Amino acid sequence: MVEAQAHAQAHAGPQGFIRKWVFSLDHKVIGLQYYFLALTAVFVGMFLSLLMRIHLIWPSVSLPLFGEIKPEAYLSLLTMHGTIMVFFVLTTAPQGGFGNYFLPIQIGAADMAFPVINMLSFWVTFLAYMVMLSAFFVTGGAPLHGWTGYPPLSALPSAGPGEALGADLWVISIALFCIGALMSALNFITTTLDMRARGMSLMRMPLTCWAWFITAILGLLAFGVLLAAGILLLLDRNAGTSFFVPLVTINGQLAGHKGGSPLLWQHLFWFFGHPEVYIAILPAMGLCSQLVSVFSRKPIFGYKAMVYAMLSIGIMGFMVWGHHMFMSGMSPYSGFAFSVMTMAIGVPSAIKTFNWLGTLWGGKIRFSSPMLFAIGFVSLFVSGGISGPFLAQPVLDIPLHDTYFVTGHFHLIMGVASIFGIFAATYYWFPKMFGRLMNERLARWHFWFSLVGTYAIFMPMHYLGMAGHPRRYSELTEVGYLHNLLPLQKFITYVAFITIAGQFIFLFNLFWSMKFGKKASDNPWEATTLEWTTATPPPHDNFAGRTPVIHHGPYEYSVPGEPRDFVMQTDPLTVAVR
């Protein structure tokens, strides 16, 4: 059955430019499309954050082209930075980009289960991205309600600049994104369940595939809820309904709503929003498990534990959303229950960390650039994770909620740790995607800039938070105790300049290596998974008409008695192993 499907799809690739590169059905091309969309998004998002950092410490400076950044413009930058980064980078690159490109190859399939749906999901995402960016250019500018869009602020056009057309575009964009993500999730799940090559049992899948699979399940369950919430918000804004808005007055004017609940939005949003952080980081977890094993030349420590840990993160990820709402007016009894669940979800995350360390232990570590970023990921994951148990406690949320402590926490773990996953994936799979290696020396410089810069930017945010610095303040001039924190804010901005400059090393390396990089062999890292058994770049049907047969799990490195220190998944082991 599986074989028949694979044969049926072993067709010649399309020849015309449009069918090959624009409206392509090939999962590899779609993967690259997602990747380059995310690449532009990450630089846009990063640029917005730089403008925010500049405004924060020099509120009245006039920038070339932009002029002075006003407080409301700061909030628009903040909203768009968060939204673009979360949706169009962290959700898009690891899953839509690398997942699309490598899931079918790693399980030995010729393509995704539904190539047309795959193409549609990219183009809907692209449309969502364009709608999001257009919010900058309408009257009133981009919305200022933050990426979480809490109503009534996000529901009332009169609540502030940017809350008119800009906010409508924001909601429409997110709804479109949800549609794209739902289609994509369906495709990933079906592909993983139905398209695996002979011998590729679930427990022989690379951990990357497990991560993409679980991420897709989370996406399927989470994005549907956000889509519904987004539609309700759009109705509240434009059709006079009151799902989220009670009787309120803005500037002495009754807003014309009655009986809605602002907390309902928060429940719906975070029911999506918390699984979303796992959607962003699970692919990076899977990838780093892979890389730590490949470059330590050792099997992954505790493969089954890793799978179960990811599964339990996936399940429990849906039971903890209330920890974003300890201070919201939600029942304090619910707060207690959510905090117990949240502390419990720390356990599988800790298991993963132990297993990464266990894999390094006794290894023979090669410090190629993907491995550097994988080690950086583990370090950031620990540092960002360790502040989790603080914020998971309602009692400690009293002083810490909505302060920079939270900003530091989620940037380390959900933001930059996931971005390190994207970097690691880029350095690791670049030779397979483009047939050349990226420059190692530049990659190392990029790594050191990014690692040290990330810590220097986000660690001090924890100190700001303890001192009571609220998030989302466009200026520090109005509150007395914030004056003392200005030097630390200045330090963060200076480091941000340097760290952002360091990212151009990556950009240069990426495009330079496409043309001038050293030619790569089919398996430059001496890894065992299926993408390294096929040609570089892979042919249209991935395996040139062959159907791979899988003999064992993905991490057979340094098996005693084997001639080489790695055994491809398609090669039988010559010695019997446990």
Partner 1 sequence: MGLVLLIIIWLITIISSYFFVARTWWFPVGASAAAASIDHYFTVTLLLMGIVFVAAQGILGFFAWRYRDRGTSSVAHYSHGNDRLEIAWTALTFILFVGLNLMSSSIWASERFRPAQPGAVQVEVTGMQFQWYFRYPGPDGKFGATKPELIDPSIGGEGAVGLDATDPASKDDLVTGTMYLPVGREAEVILRAHDVIHSFFVPGMRFKQDAVPGLAIHMHFTPISTGDYEIVCAELCGLGHYKMHGMLKVVSQQEFDAWLAARESEKQ
Does 474 contact partner 1 by CB under 8 A? yes
Beta strands at 249-250 and 67-68: parallel, antiparallel or unpaired: unpaired
Kindly tell me which of 39 and 372 has the beta carbon lying closer to partner 1. Answer: 372
Hey, CA dihedral for 440, 569, 280, 118, is it positive or negative?
positive
Kindly tell me which of 31 and 260 has the beta carbon lying closer to partner 1. Answer: 260
Minimum CB separation of residue 266 from partner 1 in Å reads 9
**Contacts (CB under 8 A) with partner 1, residues 358-417:** 358, 360-367, 372, 375, 378-379, 382-383, 386-387, 389-390, 392-399, 401-403
**Contacts (CB under 8 A) with partner 1, residues 68-97:** 70-72, 75
> With contact defined as beta carbons under 8 Å apart, do 106 and 208 qualify?
yes
> By CB neighbour count within 10 A (0-12 exposed, 13-18 middle, 19+ buried), where does 55 fall?
buried
Minimum CB separation of residue 179 from partner 1 in Å reads 27
The CA-based dihedral angle spanning residues 21, 125, 40, 517, taken in that order and rounded to the nearest 10 degrees: -40
> With contact defined as beta carbons under 8 Å apart, do 476 and 482 qualify?
yes
Minimum CB separation of residue 160 from partner 1 in Å reads 4
Give CA–CA dist 249/118, Å, rounded.
46
Kindly tell me which of 153 and 442 has the beta carbon lying closer to partner 1. Answer: 153
**Which range binds partner 1 by CB under 8 A, 119-127, 198-206, 274-282, 297-305?**
297-305
Residues 542-554: b if buried by 16+ CB within 10 A, e if exposed: bbeebbbebbbbb
**Contacts (CB under 8 A) with partner 1, residues 233-252:** 245-252
Minimum CB separation of residue 103 from partner 1 in Å reads 24
Phi then psi dihedrals of residue 161, to 5 deg: -60, 145
Minimum CB separation of residue 433 from partner 1 in Å reads 25
Residue 562: other Cβ atoms inside 10 A:
16
Question: Identity (one letter) of the amino acid at 63?
Answer: L
Minimum CB separation of residue 493 from partner 1 in Å reads 16
Does 459 contact partner 1 by CB under 8 A? yes
**Contacts (CB under 8 A) with partner 1, residues 6-45:** none
> With contact defined as beta carbons under 8 Å apart, do 265 and 150 qualify?
yes
Does 573 contact partner 1 by CB under 8 A? no
> With contact defined as beta carbons under 8 Å apart, do 52 and 4 qualify?
no
Q: Report the run of H or E that residue 177 belongs to, with start and end.
A: helix 165-194
Kindly tell me which of 373 and 532 has the beta carbon lying closer to partner 1. Answer: 373
Hey, CA dihedral for 299, 301, 305, 310, is it positive or negative?
negative
Kindly tell me which of 202 and 398 has the beta carbon lying closer to partner 1. Answer: 398
**Which range binds partner 1 by CB under 8 A, 118-126, 198-206, 463-471, 503-511?**
463-471
Does 467 contact partner 1 by CB under 8 A? yes
Minimum CB separation of residue 290 from partner 1 in Å reads 15
Kindly tell me which of 27 and 257 has the beta carbon lying closer to partner 1. Answer: 257
**Which range binds partner 1 by CB under 8 A, 92-100, 104-112, 209-217, 555-563?**
555-563
Kindly tell me which of 96 and 152 has the beta carbon lying closer to partner 1. Answer: 152
Kindly tell me which of 67 and 329 has the beta carbon lying closer to partner 1. Answer: 329
**Contacts (CB under 8 A) with partner 1, residues 158-217:** 159-161
The number of residues in the chain equals: 578
**Contacts (CB under 8 A) with partner 1, residues 318-357:** 327-329, 332-333, 335-336, 339-340, 343-344, 346-347, 350-351, 353-355, 357
Q: Residue 184's closest CA among 4, 9, 5, 33?
A: 33
Question: Identity (one letter) of the amino acid at 243?
Answer: F
Question: Identity (one letter) of the amino acid at 138?
Answer: V
Q: Which of 60, 478, 515, 563 binds partner 1 (CB under 8 A)?
A: 478
How many residues belong to the site for partner 1 (CB under 8 A)?
Answer: 118
> With contact defined as beta carbons under 8 Å apart, do 243 and 229 qualify?
no
**Contacts (CB under 8 A) with partner 1, residues 408-447:** none
Does 57 contact partner 1 by CB under 8 A? no
The token pair that represents 445 in the structure block: 């410089």
The token pair that represents 92 in the structure block: 């898009």
**Contacts (CB under 8 A) with partner 1, residues 524-553:** none
Minimum CB separation of residue 561 from partner 1 in Å reads 10
Residues 77-108: b if buried by 16+ CB within 10 A, e if exposed: bbbbbbbbbbbbbbbbbbbbbbbbbbbbbbbb
The token pair that represents 434 in the structure block: 């483009």
Give CA–CA dist 220/213, Å, rounded.
11
**Going residue by residue from 120 to 159, which x/- string records binding to partner 1, judged by CB under 8 A?**
------------------------xxx---x-xx--x--x
Give CA–CA dist 531/429, Å, rounded.
9
Give CA–CA dist 176/168, Å, rounded.
12
Minimum CB separation of residue 139 from partner 1 in Å reads 16
